[in-house]
Structure 1
Amino acid sequence: MRHSTTDETHKAQWVDVEGGQIPLSTHGAGASAILFLHGWTLDHRIWQPQFDDQALAQSFRLVAIDRRGFGASKAPPDLDREPEDIIAVLDHLDVDRVILVGQSQAGRAALRFANQHPGRTAGLVLVGSPIGGLEPGPAPGEDVPLEHYRALATADRLDEMKQLWAAHPMIQGGSGTTHAPMAAMLANYTGQDLLAPAPQPGPDIGGLGAITAPALVITGTHDTAWRRRVGDAIAVALPHGTRAEIPEGGHLCNADAPAAFNRLLSRFAESVCV
């Protein structure tokens, strides 16, 4: 099943994946593709500031999906299957190699994909992504209390969970321009993933040396100290990693500091597509 808008450069489509379908939107007509993977409780709309950037759209083919279990996706949540979903999206679009942008939780899927499919990974951009095996861990208040959130969702107290998450420093940091779109996406969040079996542990800091793709690791200066420290460690652990911070950007720095983020992304994408 496929749906398209009347705009020839901005199309919405459905892609068959294990257990259902996921929607994707495309914009631009560049020869090289950038695939955006949104963070937890979000959907493809978090990437609107990138789709609105005419320079990016002229140079690249921009693709954003609703990951399984989020947004309008019709596939059940399963973080472990997301690398397979990326393959399905690339094959659907007839894209051989892609630049992957993984935001927060989706960085785990992006890292797994780059490790499993090096031949199809032109570049890797990680935005506020977590990692396992790094000590010390986050300070109290910096972590995401998933077990508490899972207990609230299981007890049919999803609204309470959403209120707590909306007040978390990872959501409140930054310029404040993300608050309205974040609220809209959070309102649509169904908590399916909290009711599903917990995924396998994500990539460990010690395993990143096997990833050969060039990588850019980004955080906002107003992200939590833990996520910024994780960004430093990932950039060092990746054989071809580089590090950047966005002034005035929070955890969702692509949305609350889009001009700076888009410049970084464009320069990186151009460097790996030469």
Structure 2
Amino acid sequence: MHLTMPSGQAQLAVRSSGSRDGLPLLLHAGVADQRAWAAQVKHSQTAHPVVTFDQRGYGETMLTPEPYSLAKDVLAVMNATGLEQAVLVGNSKGGRLALDFTLAHPERVRALVLIGTALSGSPRLTQWPPEVLRLDEQMDAALEAGDLDRLNELEAQLWLDGPGRSAGRVSGPLRELFLEMNGKALKAENPGDETEPEPAYPRLNDIKVPTLLVVGDLDLPSIHENSEHAARSIPDASLHVMPGTARLPQLEQPESFNAVLEAWLKALP
């Protein structure tokens, strides 16, 4: 079921495959939109319902630039779909949002699944792998030149293929989908100024819900550090490394990811 839900002046594009309290709400990465969860949405037809939505500046969500809060957008989606509580499943930027939301609204979260997660307030790295620095320089040059197609392809190399991997490691329909999703986001209107939450990094031990951290073994070292730090700091957390994947394991290896997610959800108290 496709829905449009207001939050401020935005009209959030939402997809719900059913209505049941405590079901997963999937939060996409900053290089994707809700289509990155297509395999999980399909799986939900035989497993459990899920809710997805396009964040501001992504996919089919319509907006007028304004000051906004991503946490308020999540609340709007939950309230409109009847979710008093949800299992928040966040990828990359979506993982950061899931954590920030949980710290602000702990009563609305049953559990967390954080995939290649970013962490608000995490220490800035002073050293990066040479292959990452090269890609970063090329991305800066493409942005300065206004070559968004080139920037899109370079971001695919970093986030989809993984740093230091062969360009095009992930090919075919998956790469085409990444380029379409991220290309649309790169060309989207600026949504406005986001209200920055209090940093999560020093407050992870305040997370009181079961938490699963998933990270692709081809992802950035900093993301592995984030995931390992969160697994140590959150009282009820476990870490699962997915081989042969980078930032979007649920897109690259949906069957393996779905099996991990389903087994973990079934074990929740």
Q: Same fold (TM over 0.5)?
A: yes
Question: Which AA in structure 2 matches 1:48?
Answer: A
Structure 1 residue 249 and structure 2 residue 239: aligned? no
Question: Which AA in structure 2 matches 1:129?
Answer: T
Aligned to 2:96: 108
**Where does structure 1 lack aligned partners over 5 or more consecutive residues?**
1-10
Q: How many angstroms does 1:259 deviate by?
A: 1.4
Alignment of 1:148-159 (within 5 A): 156-159=146-149
Aligned to 1:44: 34
Aligned to 1:6: none
Q: Equivalent residue of 1:186, what SS?
A: helix
Q: How many angstroms does 1:41 deviate by?
A: 2.8
For residues 7 and 183 of structure 2, the distance between their equivalents in structure 1, rounded to whole angstroms, comes to: 25
Task: Select between 39-48 and 188-197 the one with higher mean Cα deviation.
Answer: 188-197
For residues 123 and 100 of structure 1, the distance between their equivalents in structure 2, rounded to whole angstroms, comes to: 6
**Deviations, residues 137-192 of structure 1 (Å, cap 9, x unaligned):** 56144479999968965874433432332232x22139626312112212322444
For residues 15 and 30 of structure 1, the distance between their equivalents in structure 2, rounded to whole angstroms, comes to: 18
Question: Which AA in structure 1 matches 2:128?
Answer: A
Structure 1 residue 176 and structure 2 residue 165: aligned? no
For residues 82 and 132 of structure 2, the distance between their equivalents in structure 1, rounded to whole angstroms, comes to: 40
> Would you say the 8 A contact 2:87–2:110 is kept in 1?
yes
Structure 1 residue 83 and structure 2 residue 71: aligned? yes
Structure 1 residue 123 and structure 2 residue 111: aligned? yes
Aligned to 2:4: 14
> Would you say the 8 A contact 2:148–2:183 is kept in 1?
no
Structure 1 residue 268 and structure 2 residue 264: aligned? yes
Q: CA RMSD in A?
A: 3.1
Q: Equivalent residue of 2:49, what SS?
A: strand
Q: Equivalent residue of 2:69, what SS?
A: helix
For residues 172 and 66 of structure 1, the distance between their equivalents in structure 2, rounded to whole angstroms, comes to: 23
**Deviations, residues 109-143 of structure 1 (Å, cap 9, x unaligned):** 11111001111100111110122334755614447
> Would you say the 8 A contact 2:34–2:52 is kept in 1?
yes
> Would you say the 8 A contact 1:29–1:57 is kept in 2?
no
> Would you say the 8 A contact 1:98–1:121 is kept in 2?
yes
Number of residue pairs aligned between Structure 1 and Structure 2: 260
User: Between the two proteins, what is the percent identity of the paired residues?
Assistant: 23
For residues 206 and 193 of structure 1, the distance between their equivalents in structure 2, rounded to whole angstroms, comes to: 33
**Deviations, residues 175-220 of structure 1 (Å, cap 9, x unaligned):** 6263121122123224447685576377342121112121111001
Task: Select between 33-42 and 197-206 the one with higher mean Cα deviation.
Answer: 197-206
**Where does structure 2 lack aligned partners over 5 or more consecutive residues?**
none
**Deviations, residues 212-260 of structure 1 (Å, cap 9, x unaligned):** 1211110011212221222111111112211111122221000111112
For residues 140 and 9 of structure 2, the distance between their equivalents in structure 1, rounded to whole angstroms, comes to: 23
Question: Which AA in structure 2 matches 1:13?
Answer: L
For residues 19 and 46 of structure 2, the distance between their equivalents in structure 1, rounded to whole angstroms, comes to: 6
**Deviations, residues 66-125 of structure 1 (Å, cap 9, x unaligned):** 011111111357896111111111110111110001110111211111001111100111
Question: Which AA in structure 2 matches 1:100?
Answer: L
Aligned to 1:7: none
Question: Which AA in structure 1 matches 2:218?
Answer: H
Task: Select between 104-113 and 262-271 the one with higher mean Cα deviation.
Answer: 262-271
Q: 1:156 to 1:135 in 2, by over 3 A?
A: closer
Aligned to 2:154: 164
Aligned to 1:139: 128
TM-score (norm 2): 0.83
TM-score (norm 1): 0.82
Aligned to 1:94: 82
For residues 22 and 144 of structure 1, the distance between their equivalents in structure 2, rounded to whole angstroms, comes to: 36
Q: 1:182 to 1:59 in 2, by over 3 A?
A: same
